[in-house]
Amino acid sequence: MATLRIAILGESGVGKSAVTVRFLTKRYIGEYNSEIDLLYRSSLKQEDSLTDIEILDTSSKKSPMPLESHVQWADGFVVVYDVCRRMTFKMARRTLECLHKMRTSFIVPVALMANKIDLDHRRKIGVDEGHELALEFGCQFYEVSAAETFQSINIAFQALLRDAMITKQQRSTILRRRRSSLLTVSKKLGSIFGKKDHEVEKKRPSCDALPDFALSI
Ligand SMILES: Nc1nc2c(ncn2[C@@H]2O[C@H](COP(=O)(O)OP(=O)(O)OP(=O)(O)O)[C@@H](O)[C@H]2O)c(=O)[nH]1
């Protein structure tokens, strides 16, 4: 199985680095100073097999258009917003709309992640709103707190990685079938045209077969 790639998207300060590091190390690190995209490599044990994974923690500061550059790279996306900042929720909607438009040929699993639920007294976006948005775009939805718990973040990542693995396998099966049916069509076309050429060749008389009068002309 090829490496599974997940891109973490979202507005600046929503906790993209916090949820990524929480999932990979089980630890919460309060302050990150990432001005660039960071790529983490790890492996995942699922059903007695190990799969290599890459998680790209994108930086909203240095990547003004991260979607375009990352969309072809990833097998799955985590779109994070901060439940205390409505602007980040709007940004998450815009990101989901872009993903929806860009990846039309294949379905790519997406997890919508509402972070910072420990700050309940400052909450601006209700759980229902998150659910509705996820329903609208057919993605998974999780409310998490990178600061408080590993459990919900782990569940979200595990489910996304499982879905990403399944869709990646389905995609490669479909591509293999398409390639082999294209090959069959081209072989058939080849044999049809090849046969016609052959027939023409056969009908064309050779010099040896021409009668003497024909040779004298
Ligand atoms: N209270 C609380 N704070 C959090 C949580 N997750 C992250 N933070 C804080 O939010 C701030 C931003 O977190 P980051 O993980 O750096 O956010 P980011 O989305 O990677 O930000 P950029 O790198 O600027 O795009 C930091 O001060 C974190 O400590 C959370 O679950 N609860």
Distance CA 75, CA 164 (A): 6
Rounded to the nearest whole angstrom, what is the distance from the C-alpha of residue 8 to the centroid of ligand 1?
Answer: 13
Q: Of the segments 27-41, 49-63, 73-87, which one has the largest average pLDDT value? A: 73-87
Rounded to the nearest whole angstrom, what is the distance from the C-alpha of residue 69 to the centroid of ligand 1?
Answer: 23
Q: Which is the closest atom of ligand 1 to the Cα of 59?
A: 25
Tell me the HSE value of 61 on the side-chain side, using a 13 A CA sphere: 10
Give the residue, by CA position, lying nearest to ligand 1 atom 2.
Answer: 116
For a ligand 1 pocket test, name from 12, 14, 84, 143 the mutation site with the most ligand atoms within 8 angstroms of its C-beta.
14
Q: Which pLDDT score, from 0 to 100, does residue 67 have?
A: 72
Global pTM?
0.82
Distance CA 18, CA 20 (A): 6
- Which residue from 120, 91, 106 is spatially nearest to 10, judged by alpha carbons? 91
Distance CA 134, CA 93 (A): 9
Which tens digits make up the pLDDT trace of 4-33?
Answer: 999 999 999 999 999 999 999 999 988 777
Helix axes 86-102, 127-137, angle to 10 degrees: 10
Distance CA 28, CA 141 (A): 21
Which tens digits make up the pLDDT trace of 51-62?
Answer: 899 999 998 765
**17 contacts 34 by C-beta, under 8 angstroms:** yes
Burial class (CB in 10 A: 0-12, 13-18, 19+), 123: middle
**66 contacts 94 by C-beta, under 8 angstroms:** no
- Which residue from 53, 51, 73 is spatially nearest to 63, judged by alpha carbons? 73
188 band by pLDDT with thresholds 50, 70 and 90: confident
Rounded to the nearest whole angstrom, what is the distance from the C-alpha of residue 12 to the centroid of ligand 1?
Answer: 8
Q: Which is the closest atom of ligand 1 to the Cα of 20?
A: 15
List, as one string, the DSSP characters of 109-120: -EEEEEE-TT-G
Give the residue, by CA position, lying nearest to ligand 1 atom 13.
Answer: 15
Distance CA 105, CA 99 (A): 11
Q: Which is the closest atom of ligand 1 to the Cα of 21?
A: 15
